[in-house]
Amino acid sequence: MSEQAAAAALMKLAGSPGDVDARAKVVRWLLGDKLIADRVDEADAEHLVDEAAARTTAGTEAAVLAELKAGLEASPGTTLIALFRFPKVRQVWDFGPVRFGPPALVIDERVVPATGSWGASASAAAFAVRVDEPAIGTRGSRRALEWLRAGLGALYLAGRLNGGGADTRLGPVPADELAPSVFVGPVGSLGCLVEVLRVPATVPLELDALLAAEEASALVLDCLQSEPADLVQHRLRQAAPWIQFSFDALSFPDAVLGLGVALESLVGAENTSDVVRTIGMRAAFLLREGDTPAERALTGSDWQIKAKSLYKARSTVAHGRYEEGALSQAKEREIRHDFEDLVCRIATTFRAEGRRHNWLTDKDLKNWQEQLELA
């Protein structure tokens, strides 16, 4: 569609607000610009076109359309700031669109909250995450939150890798534990819901020391690639937000659902057929150990059984069969701990094995599995 046709459609919309066809023509013309299409959702574009039509009068349609297009191309992107009580950090760590560091260094004078004040949160915070996402509007907010989740998930995964299984967690996200608004408990002694239900970290997150380790830093970087270069980066990028979601979940059902998605993101098949078998086989091949074929077969079988058993917990919830109290809290904690451990083991081993075999596509991973099965 030409610019003149789009301007005519905008004028028509100005005369007939709600004209679906006219609006669609203008939106289609705008989204024909790749820069705009990458930055804004169609629904937001429709709203902006309606606003532009409302200020359009005869003879101004071309200028209004040009102004709208230029604004969408040049408008500032979306910034997200997350504040936490801990850990204490000394320096800033940049990973693409995600930045970790002290609030004073991460938040600059350009970042002004819509309320005009950060409230009590800023003074209590020791650690900040900043995301700068090029997209705007609804798309920008969604992507920024996804980057935040991926960033925290990458830190949790790196902590397990570098700390020999160290359990670190900061969330939940987006609940704000600096200014809690949900309280629970007996009358007269209500506590913050997040503090009551959060799974405590077993060790503090020493962020500066963690990210100073080359391997841990490289893992975080792999999880936070805007344009993944291979299958390893692509799948880690998909899994990291779900690692955060599950580690910081306040309930067992949410945790096992998130862990199930993280597991599928890492080693699931490119199609949805026979998911349980695929996950079990790939877990077995990735995690098996031993010097002889018999030892590898035995340990692989153990991991296959464990992966299927843990994934069953996810399926129980996903298919509406979970009942509160059916399992003891101790059993649920055990399942959750084992499931977290499995996902982190698979993530780090998948990364190492994928790099060793140069997995670039899903087909490479499938061929690797088939060759091992035939052997």
C-alpha distance from residue 366 to each of 118, 232, 371 (Å): 49, 13, 9
Q: Is the pLDDT of residue 123 over 80?
A: no
Lowest mean pLDDT among 7-16, 58-67, 172-181: 172-181
pLDDT confidence tier of residue 205, bands split at 50, 70 and 90 = confident
Tell me what the mean pLDDT of segment 74-83 comes to.
92
Q: Is the pLDDT of residue 175 over 90?
A: no
Tell me what the mean pLDDT of segment 250-270 comes to.
95
* Residue type at 42 in one-letter notation: E
Lowest mean pLDDT among 173-177, 243-247, 286-290, 326-330: 173-177
Write the pLDDT tens digit of every residue in 133-146.
Answer: 999 999 999 999 99
Q: What is the DSSP letter of 200?
A: P
Cβ atoms of 93 and 211 within 8 Å: the answer is: yes
Residue 39 or residue 177, greater confidence: 39
C-alpha distance from residue 168 to each of 58, 126, 158, 180 (Å): 61, 16, 10, 21
Rounded-to-integer distance, Cα 268 and Cα 260, Å: 10
- Identify the pLDDT of residue 121: 63
Rg of the chain (C-alpha set) = 24
- In the chain, % of residues over pLDDT 70: 96
Rounded-to-integer distance, Cα 118 and Cα 8, Å: 45
Look over the chain and give the mean of its residue pLDDT values, rounded to a whole number.
92
- Identify the pLDDT of residue 295: 93
- Identify the pLDDT of residue 5: 95
Q: Which domains does the chain have, with CATH numbers?
A: 3-74 (no CATH), 76-224 (no CATH), 227-375 (1.20.120)
**For the chain, how far is it from start to end, CA to CA, in angstroms?**
57
- Identify the pLDDT of residue 164: 63
- Identify the pLDDT of residue 161: 84
Residue 373 or residue 178, greater confidence: 373
Rounded (10°) CA dihedral 196, 198, 201, 204: -80
Q: Is the pLDDT of residue 332 over 90?
A: yes
Degrees, nearest 5: CA angle 276-281-282:
100
Q: Is the pLDDT of residue 166 over 90?
A: no
Rounded-to-integer distance, Cα 310 and Cα 66, Å: 56
CA 90 from centre of chain? 25
pLDDT confidence tier of residue 3, bands split at 50, 70 and 90 = very high
